[in-house]
Amino acid sequence: MRITIFIFFFIPICHFGQTIADCKDRFDNYLNLKGSLNNSVIFEKDIIFLLNEKGEKEFAAYANELPLLSSFFENSNVDDQLKIFKQKGTRKFTRREADSLLMAIDDDTQLPQNNGKRPLQGIRIAIDPGHFSSTLENAKVEGKYLHFIKPGTNILDSIELVEGNLTFLTAKILKAMIEERGARVILSRPAQNYTAFSMTYNYWYKYKRTKILDSLKKINELTDEKYKKLKKLTKEKLFWAFFRDYELVARSNKINAFNPHLTVIIHYNVDEKNSPWQNASERNNTMCFIGGAFVDTDLKKINNKLHFLRLLFCKQINESEDISHLTVTAFSKNLKVNKAKLNDADYLISKGLGTEHEGVFCRNLILTRYINSPLVYGESLFQDNVIECTKLNECNYEAYGIKVPERVYMVARSYYEAIMDYFIR
């Protein structure tokens, strides 16, 4: 009887509509890339089954459990999710289990009351400035820079763009804009050239690498063989073999600990067909990513199964689509750049899933998978476009005491407009 009462109260408040049909819709339209999960997930009239690699039923969600599971996954970390995943398996929650799980949920996803002058008051927004380098030298380690002769000149006047610097400046301006409206904001990395560990990669490599690799080996996160291999790698090689993904997970842990109502991940794109970026490109477009687009091998790791179930049960992916649609529309309008189509890039064709909103694609990236909140992963423009690269190369604008290229201000302004539209409708 108590579970009936819970469903009556809970559904209308925050998880209205979490039905088998809603989950099936998310599975078909966002999560299942080209049918590759067809043998991993089964939908029956009142049950959803997740299968293991042997094709055996490993976890079941029954229709009347979906509001509870949705709320639980949204308001818990992967350690708690793993416990429930193992305890529950394919059986139904008992009334007592459902009750105690409900009591344990501290639902912190509700939006505060709208306050006229400071409309974002009490809203928590995490911002992730993509990559970490702000200098050309550091950017060479992560391969996120452009360095070529300025278009239209034949002298030694060069374009020097570092993506991690553009993203950090954008994040600083956006932070100031939304704080002015009352939002509580964190940046996933605190300063230019700093990683999520609040230090440069050079410092980390010199002073922290050994300690981290040793501790990961001790807890069996690294095999002996892998440990020995990683210990010997140069700064550049260790970045690709280990640090890049390790630091992205640290960013998402930091963001999840803040429990944001929204996460904004800031990147600047390049034209993939212009590789190795020795010249400018005529092409330009704008796009945003949300989670989804899983393939069956993504479900081998237990953590990924848990992220998958969260995205299946909760409406975060629908909310991510809303904010991403608003963002890509603001980019397109303010920057006068066309929205990308699925066949505009090979990575979209092979790994992306289009949505019904032009310029918004599902991508199964570490951050779009690990972050437990609605999110937008913005790729506002192509830095190597013939006009953009010149404009981005000049710091000709000042906002909030920060000197930036005017295009960077316009990108921050576009995120800001989308955020205001998203929360105040």
The residues of the shown chain that bind Zn ion, judged by CB under 5 A, are 130, 267
Q: What is the DSSP letter of 49?
A: E
β-sheet bridge partners, residue 376:
264
- Residue placing its CB nearer to Zn ion in the complex, 267 or 315: 267
Count of helix runs (H) and strand runs (E) in the chain? 18, 14
CB of 115 to Zn ion, least distance (A): 35
- Residue placing its CB nearer to Zn ion in the complex, 58 or 344: 344
CA end-to-end distance (rounded Å), the chain: 37
Phi, psi (deg, nearest 5) at residue 42: -120, 130
| Residue nearest to Zn ion according to CB distances in the complex | 267
Find the helix packing angle between 66-74 and 95-104, rounded to 10°. Answer: 30
CB of 342 to Zn ion, least distance (A): 20
In this structure, what token pair is assigned to residue 410? Answer: 């316009």
- Residue placing its CB nearer to Zn ion in the complex, 127 or 222: 127
CB of 186 to Zn ion, least distance (A): 20
CB of 293 to Zn ion, least distance (A): 18
- Residue placing its CB nearer to Zn ion in the complex, 230 or 404: 404
Number of residues in the chain: 425
61 within 8 A of 85, measured Cβ to Cβ = no
Residues 40 and 50: their CA atoms lie apart, in Å, by 6
Selection from 112, 113, 96 nearest residue 104 by Cα: 96
CB of 348 to Zn ion, least distance (A): 15
CA 345, 349, 352, 356 torsion-angle sign: positive
- 143 CB-near residues (< 8 Å, 6+ apart): none
- Residue placing its CB nearer to Zn ion in the complex, 67 or 291: 291
CB of 365 to Zn ion, least distance (A): 10
CB of 163 to Zn ion, least distance (A): 5
User: What is the distance, to the nearest Å, from the Cα of residue 260 to the centroid of all Cα atoms in its chain?
Assistant: 12
Would strands 262-269 and 375-382 be described as parallel, antiparallel, or unpaired?
A: parallel
CA 130, 136, 141, 146 torsion-angle sign: positive
196 within 8 A of 189, measured Cβ to Cβ = yes
CB of 112 to Zn ion, least distance (A): 32
- Residue placing its CB nearer to Zn ion in the complex, 119 or 143: 143
CB of 130 to Zn ion, least distance (A): 4
Amino acid at 397: Y
* Nearest-5° Cα angle at 315, 310 to 320: 100
In this structure, what token pair is assigned to residue 34? Answer: 């080209």
- Residue placing its CB nearer to Zn ion in the complex, 124 or 267: 267
Q: Where are the alpha helices (DSSP H) in 89-208?
A: 95-104, 136-142, 163-180, 201-203
- Residue placing its CB nearer to Zn ion in the complex, 316 or 380: 380
- Residue placing its CB nearer to Zn ion in the complex, 245 or 398: 245
- Residue placing its CB nearer to Zn ion in the complex, 85 or 289: 289
Selection from 141, 126, 135 nearest residue 164 by Cα: 135
Residues 301 and 305: their CA atoms lie apart, in Å, by 7
CB of 268 to Zn ion, least distance (A): 6
